[in-house]
Amino acid sequence: MALKKIAIVGPESTGKSTMAQHLAQVLGTVCVPEYARYYCRNLDRQYTLQDEVNMFYGQVALEDALIHLAKNNVLVCDTTMLTVKIWCDHLFGGTPEEVTDEIKSRKYDFYLLMDIDLPWEDDPLRDFPQQREHFMHVWKKELEALDASYKIISGIGDERLKNGVNAIDL
């Protein structure tokens, strides 16, 4: 049986990491964390396009390093390099070809697109509390451009987690 990759994506402050960790636990597998959180944690300046490219390579390397730890033929990914594309397009007006090429070739079986119905939680690594609707639209557009299989996950607390688990069809 082939490995199924499930990606948790969406705008800022929508519970992606919580959902990814919960799904990995429920499915008895590993969760690939969001590399950008580690990269930006001690960054003491505004990030650049090169930083975005570095985060892209870090996310790919982290996923590749953890894929052999996947159990039950499932890998849960707390984001993908599609996040890098969305940020590059928004902040720098375009995305380097190495990123867009990898997005076309690296496939995920299913995406959970986290809805913006959760209240905003401040975090030093979050930038755009007033633009969540905009980014939700961008995420839908990007997933549709990939012809990706996805479901929007809404709800608060345990209901949200249950909705995420129920959306997965293994």
Residues in contact with 121: Cβ distance below 8 Å, sequence separation at least 6, in sequence order:
13
pLDDT category of residue 128 using cuts at 50, 70 and 90? low
User: pLDDT tens for residues 23-60?
Assistant: 999 999 999 999 998 888 888 888 899 999 999 999 99
Q: What is the mean pLDDT of the chain?
A: 92
- Is 90 exceeded by the pLDDT of residue 132? no
Q: What sign results for the dihedral spanned by CA atoms 65, 66, 72, 78?
A: negative
Q: Is 33 or 123 the better-scoring residue by pLDDT? A: 33
The residues, any chain, with a CB within 8 Å of residue 57's CB and separated by 6 or more, are none
Q: Which pLDDT score, from 0 to 100, does residue 28 have?
A: 96
- On the question of pLDDT at 75 being above 60, the answer is yes
Q: What is the pLDDT of residue 64?
A: 96
pLDDT score of 148: 96
pLDDT score at 147: 96
| Tokens 């928004």, located at residue | 90
Query: Could you tell me the pLDDT band of residue 145, with boundaries at 50, 70 and 90?
Result: very high
What are 119's two structure tokens?
A: 């209240």
How confident is the model at residue 77, as a pLDDT?
A: 98
Q: What is the mean pLDDT of residues 53-78?
A: 96
**pTM of the complete model:** 0.92
Judge contact between 105 and 64, C-beta under 8 A. Answer: no
Which pLDDT band holds residue 124 (cuts at 50, 70, 90)? low
pLDDT of residue 48: 92
